[in-house]
Each structure stands twice: as C-alpha cells, then as structure tokens.
Structure 1
C-alpha cells in the first residue's frame, strides 16, 4: 500500500522547482522504487495486490495545487500501465482516489508558495476561501478511508479504481462524462476564480 504523500499550494509559475522535485520524489518516485523492489517476490508467489493512493488532483489538474495534481496524475498513469504488465503474473492494482479527509495532508502547515500580493492574488483569494470552507464543512473522518482501503486489498480484478468520498466520486463522474472545457468552467465557478481574460493587462 503506497500511502505516503506530500502536498503544496501555489500556482505553477510561483512554485519553486525544489518543491516539484520534493513532491515527485515522495508521491511518485518513492512508490515506483518500492514496487520495483517488491515485484520479483510477488511474481514468484503468483499473487498479490498493489494499492496506490491517489486523490481528486489525480483525476483532474486542480488550480493552486498544480505540483500535487501533476504528481498524483503521474502516479495514476504509472499504476495503469503497470497493471497491464503484471496481470499475466497473477498480480493486480487498485487505485484509491480519495476525497477530502481529516488528515495531515492538508493543514495550516502545508507549504504555500503563492505570492498573495502578486499577480495571482485574485486566483488565490477564490481558492483559499472556497477550499477552506469546503474542508471545514465536508472533510470526512479517516475511518471511512480505512474501510475503503480494507476493501481495496481484497480486489481481484487486474485493475480497479475506487473513489472514496462523495466529492471524489462526483469529480470522477464529471470528468468522465462532460467535455473538458465544461469541466473547466464548472471548477472555475465553484472555486470562484476570475473569468478568462479578467486579469489581462491588470
């Protein structure tokens, strides 16, 4: 079970490369290295399951957490690719896509690299206002995640994707069924982001 994870806030432009390297090292390269070490024994045994913990940011790139979204998206693509490679050996992969939970992944101590008085100030304003309100009102207890994890371990399909929490399920369905530009507009309005061209020449 790959459950380690780091988060960081900030626009793609303002987040330093050090943060990009750190998040990819923890959220992607760590699981890849550990899995590479375990697979020979798992293949020899002929059974086993790799459970990868992703999040809403892995379904759709979310504003203000581009680094985190990119690392989780890459994690999901790796898991999907690997599942087809290892299925002939009796092994499987489950991707748990988590919603908002009361865990330490998102706290007041989460690194925030955004310049809140800079060019993206209006963008951050909407993100932080709606984001904090949503977390305070809707974050689920970690026990719900534990139940989903227990079920994931017993999956037997070559690959299975499970959403955990109504917000993750809603975003997953929306991203699959709606055109990308419509999803973009829905997220923008929900997070109270400035409209296209609103900050042009500002």
Structure 2
C-alpha cells in the first residue's frame, strides 16, 4: 500500500473481542482511525469514549448482505479492511449438520468476500489499500474434528490468493494471517460450535472435542503481539502474502509443506507419465 501522509482508516469486523479488539488497540496506538464493525455497537462504548475522534462504530452481522453494504457506506474511506469475524466449530464431517456447515461458510467465507468486493471499488480508484484476511493455521492445513472450520478458512485463503494476483498490480495489498493458538475468546466453551457425537469418531475427534475448550486461556500466543505483527506487515514494501503467527502455526505449516512435498516426490513418476503419447510419423 502506498505511503500516506494522513492516518489510515481501518474497518475491522468482530472488533469487540479477541484478535479484533487487539487489532483495535494496535491501530489506535499507531495513531490511525478505526471503524469497528460489530453485531452489538454498545459493546464498543468504552473505546468510543476514550477515542471519540478516532473510533466509529457500525452495526454489522457479516451474514447480512444489506448490513454489509450499509456498514461500508457509513464507514466512508477504508484504507485497510480486516476481515476478522469468525468462530470455532468442532466435529467430524459426518457429525456436522448442514445448517452449521452453511453458517460457517457464510461467516468465514461469503461474508469476508462480500466486504472485500464492497471496499475494492474505492481502493481501485485510489490505487492503494490493503485487505487483511484473518484465517488460521487451520486454513492451510487440517486435522480430524476441524474439517468444516478449515474448509471455510481454506476457501477464503484460496480466493485471497487469486485476489492478490488480481489487485496487487493496482496498488492493493492482500495479507492472509494464519494464527495458531492465542489467548483470545476463540476456545471459550460458550463461543465454540460443537457437533453431536457419533461413537465411531471418539478416537479421532475426541481429543479436539475435549481439548479445545479446556485450552481456553492456557494458550501461549499473545494477541497484542500478533496484532503488532499484522500492523507492521500492512503497507510494507514487498509484503508477503501469508503471515503465520505463533511457533505452533509455523511448525504445523512447515509440516504440511513437507508432507505435500513427500507425496509429490512419491507420486511424480505417475503424474509425469499421464500425457498423450507423441504421434510418430
């Protein structure tokens, strides 16, 4: 994103808790402005009172297309969009209801892309801006019990990879953020969607079903440091597409890359021999 003489204006979804609240604090500490998009505007009352000239609140449930359009219009100029709103969903693929599957995709895929589409016209006109997609290490790799969550985040990542190729030449940065376990409200039992149980999946899914809620407030990751890393990356010269946050995320993603490379090496002799034979005259 091109340098600006004035403060940047950040539209942050899910700004009242977890990473969203950490992003708000970091942005304000940097001297920038915040448009906080939340389902309950009253939840931002203390922040607004402390920064009345630099915080604007807009009501938004990212599932609602009309609300998204209103929120972007009310926000006015948006220099940085942070698609942060989301939640955890735990269960085997077979255990997960169709309603939960569709809601996860609506909140963590369709909603972020809708907001991205809404802010892009003004960013294209200015030839500057940044889109920050808060994914997860689970958006790059997956394991038993988090397939639906990973599917939603992974879909957002792949769409954003294409988006980056489309908008980088127009001066717009795309950053995919892939946190590991951080001490946010993500794992709070009341915040998680946990599916019904099928006994046959106890050995594969049971560990995450029991372990994720019990990890709440025991995680090693510091949200304030994560937010600072994002702030430092947005707008830098030659920025990365992906930003893995936390030793667990860095390790898990490296493991996934190694596993994919190993599979490719093991099957290349098959894949490289599937072309049509040359016609010999």
Instruction: Give the TM-score category using the shorter length.
Output: 0.7 to 0.9
Mapped to 2, the partners of 1:181 and 1:136 lie a distance apart of: 36
Structure 1 residue aligned with 2:64? none
Structure 2 residue aligned with 1:48? 129
Q: 1:92 to 1:159 in 2, by over 3 A?
A: farther
Mapped to 2, the partners of 1:133 and 1:107 lie a distance apart of: 8
TM-score of the superposed pair, with normalisation by structure 2:
0.59
The 8 Å contact of residues 43 and 89 in structure 1, kept in 2 or not, is answered as yes
Mapped to 2, the partners of 1:159 and 1:165 lie a distance apart of: 16
Q: 1:155 to 1:42 in 2, by over 3 A?
A: same
The 8 Å contact of residues 98 and 163 in structure 1, kept in 2 or not, is answered as yes
Q: Deviations over 1:97-154 (max 9, x none)?
A: 10101112221121210316x2212223333455466666543221122112211322
Q: 1:177 to 1:119 in 2, by over 3 A?
A: closer
Q: Say if 2:170 is the partner of 1:89.
A: yes
Q: 1:134 to 1:177 in 2, by over 3 A?
A: farther
Q: 1:62 to 1:171 in 2, by over 3 A?
A: same
Structure 2 residue aligned with 1:35? 116
Paired residue secondary structure (2:241): strand
Q: Say if 2:161 is the partner of 1:80.
A: yes
Paired residue secondary structure (1:162): strand
Q: Say if 2:194 is the partner of 1:112.
A: yes
Q: Give the number of aligned pairs.
A: 181
Alignment of 1:6-45 (within 5 A): 6-45=87-126
TM-score of the superposed pair, with normalisation by structure 1:
0.81
Instruction: State the structure with more CA Rg.
Output: 2
Mapped to 2, the partners of 1:174 and 1:154 lie a distance apart of: 29
Alignment of 1:1-202 (within 5 A): 1-109=82-190, 110-115=192-197, 118-128=199-209, 131=212, 137-157=218-238, 159-179=240-260
More helix by share: 1
The gaps in structure 2 that reach 5 residues or longer are 1-81, 264-281
Paired residue secondary structure (1:120): helix
More strand by share: 2
The gaps in structure 1 that reach 5 residues or longer are 183-202
Q: 1:135 to 1:108 in 2, by over 3 A?
A: closer
